[in-house]
Amino acid sequence: MALNINIDHIKKMVYDKFSINVNNVENNVEVQGTLLSHKFDYIASNSEKIAIKIIDSLDATSEIMAFHSELEDCNINNSMIIVNRELSANEINILKAYDIKISDYRNYSGLSYRFRFGIPDLDMQLFGGLRSGFVYLISGKAGSGKTTLSSMFLSEGAKNGQNGIMILTDTFPEEYLNNIKTMNINFYENYKNGIIDVIEISDQIRSMKIDVLNQKTDFRKFITKIISELKKLIISKNIKRVVIDQVTLLLMPNDDYINLFINSLAMNDVIVIITSGVRASDFSVFGVEENYVTGIIKLEYKLTDTGMERTMRIPKMRGSQFNPMPMKFNITSNGIEIISNEANNRNNFDDLEKLYPYKDKKNDDLIDSNSLFKQFRG
């Protein structure tokens, strides 16, 4: 049980799932069953007991089955799990079969805060910005503006004191920084000041991926190693915004792999943006990435008689209001600038300021020299 959950949050979750106002919530409660005694993460009680289990593993199938057995042995009819990630289809099906409720802690841990891009029209269409704890996809073909938009997201975070990381998979850091410093978005200045880090994946990751493709190792071990090291890095540097540009090199053409990898990227109090080109679908290279992210921003362009016309739209945003109407934009020396958007009311934008998060402290811990991710300092 890694999550440290406020008791008031648990009471609210219980009410939302069972319409019951509970008076008492205890943690690490031992309940005597018919055969054995079992320890539950939490027991909420009023007229009857509600058993609660915290799920924080990458694959909780066996945990859920064991939890169900404990419930039956203790004759507890009402139960709930608390998660802080997206569940797989298999996990959801098992929980439905056992009639175990699901509550997502990310919806109760101060996630009314929104993290903006600093592009007023886009932030308005996102009703204030993105919610932390989730994984989002910026999609589009080469040259559509994915890297520029995600870089602006990190720069906006730095302006608000939030540390960020740009993880590059298909671009050399020198090339990326030389390009981004030509834009007036303060990315390079924040990079030099250590508020934004630029990371590239190591040859070790490429070698490990080849081993998985050749079936020399299980892909779950590969994912666990990458995610564990990434989370260690994020915690040590107090990172709030993460961009993986592009995510394709870290993926494999396997639905189970992509599902587990993207779900594993979700971290409490951290926003993760992945970018992807398009090939197998309108939104991604393998055609399934879009199914497992919380939201999508799609960038498109076409040649017209008057030049290049660029558009941006939001086709998906789970658990949040959004405006799906497309916006026209240009890429300029100031980054992405919206040039046509009749849907938003700019007068309401000031009301969104109260949604934006506090300033975070800077952490200068160094990355291990043997890391799967290599820090770049130009």
Residue 246 DSSP symbol: -
> Among the CATH numbers 1.10.10.10, 3.40.1350.10, 1.10.287.3510, 2.170.190.11, which is that of 7-107?
3.40.1350.10
Q: What is the DSSP string of 5-32?
A: --HHHHHHHHHHHH----SEEEEEEEEE
In this prediction, residue 111 carries a pLDDT of 44
Q: Residue 241's closest CA among 374, 104, 113, 378?
A: 113
In this prediction, residue 21 carries a pLDDT of 83
Domain ranges of the chain: 7-107, 120-376
- Reading phi first (left if > 0) and then psi (alpha if -120 to 50, else beta), residue 186 is in left
- Reading phi first (left if > 0) and then psi (alpha if -120 to 50, else beta), residue 106 is in alpha
Q: Which fold has domain 120-376?
A: Rossmann fold (3.40.50)
| pLDDT one digit per residue (tens) for the chain, 378 residues | 456 677 878 888 898 899 888 878 888 999 999 989 999 999 998 878 999 999 988 889 999 999 999 999 999 999 999 998 888 889 999 999 999 999 988 777 654 568 999 998 999 899 889 988 899 999 999 999 999 999 999 999 998 889 999 999 988 999 999 999 999 999 999 999 999 999 998 888 888 888 888 888 889 988 999 999 999 999 999 999 999 999 999 998 889 999 999 999 998 889 999 999 999 889 999 999 999 999 999 999 998 888 889 999 999 998 888 899 999 999 999 999 999 765 444 444 444 444 433 333 334 444 555 667 666 666
Cross-strand partners of 11:
none
Q: Residue 260's closest CA among 138, 91, 137?
A: 91
Determine how many CB atoms are found less than 10 A away from the CB of residue 73: 16
In this prediction, residue 320 carries a pLDDT of 82
Cross-strand partners of 317:
295
Q: Tell me, yes or no, if the pTM score tops 0.95.
A: no
In this prediction, residue 127 carries a pLDDT of 85
CB 264 within 8 A of CB 58: yes
DSSP E strands, 19-146: 24-32, 37-45, 49-54, 78-83, 101-104, 135-139
Determine how many CB atoms are found less than 10 A away from the CB of residue 309: 16
Going by their DSSP bridges, the two strands 239-245 and 196-201 should be labelled as unpaired
Q: Residue 83's closest CA among 114, 108, 65?
A: 108
